[in-house]
Every structure is written in structure tokens, then in C-alpha cells.
Amino acid sequence: MAKKGSKFQKYELSFKIALVEKYLRGEGGGIKRLAKENGLKSSRQLQDWIKKHQAGELTEAGADKRGKHEGNKRNGRPKTKFASKEEEWEYLRLENEYLKKKLLAQGESENSIASLWSSKNLK
């Protein structure tokens, strides 16, 4: 884990892609050596870039998703502060709808979902 107040090195997308392609062509003698020769603090950075490249995520569109929020979605963390009870109820209603859809997609019936919920939450 990074220390509080530490600064992170940012690399240009073109640098990342060039380094990944160099590795994939077999040039440079392996991940650790390439990382060290190109001034990376850890070979893990290069490993991550390789995985992203192979998944098609190492592009301008996917280059900087860190810290971006869409509506109430906050990097997988649930919202915990609400302006009113109505806002909180609406949030919980939508969350329940989402969970119900996920269970239905996994093959659960509506009756089994209702009985599962009531057996765990109404005791």
C-alpha cells in the first residue's frame, strides 16, 4: 500500500503500449528486466499493462478510469450518506430490484427469492 502523501509516477499511453509490445515480441529479456531498464518501480506495473493490453483495455478510452463515478456508482462501494429518508428508500428500492434481477438471471424463481429473503430478514 502506498504511503500517505506519496506521489505516483504517470506514464504516457504510448510508452505503456511500446513496452508491452516489446515484451510480446520477446525483446528485452523478460518482464523484470524490461521494467528495471525502463525505470518502472515494480515489474507488477508491466504485468498489469500486459493484461490490459491483451483484454483490449490499454487504449485512450480505457486509459484513466480511476476515480470516475457514474451517478450513484462509486467504484463498487455502496452509497452511505443520503440527503433524506426518501432518497435512502429510493436507493434501497433500486438495490433490491437489481439483486432480484441478478437472482432471476441465475435461475431462481420469484417465490424462492421471496421465501429466501423473508427467512433471512424477518426473524
Tell me: the pLDDT tens digits for 59-70?
876 655 554 444
Residue 48 reports pLDDT greater than 90? yes
Residue 72 reports pLDDT greater than 60? no
Sequence length of the chain is 123
pLDDT of residue 82: 83
CA 115/CA 123 separation, integer angstroms: 12
pLDDT of residue 121: 59
Joined together, the cell numbers standing for residue 57 give 483495455
Residue 103 reports pLDDT greater than 80? yes
Strand-pair partners of 70: 73
Tell me: the pLDDT tens digits for 18-29?
999 999 999 888
Over the Cα atoms of the chain, what is R_g?
22
pLDDT more than 90, % of the chain: 25
pLDDT of residue 58: 83
The domain spans of the chain are: 13-54, 85-121
CA 74/CA 76 separation, integer angstroms: 6
CA 63/CA 100 separation, integer angstroms: 33
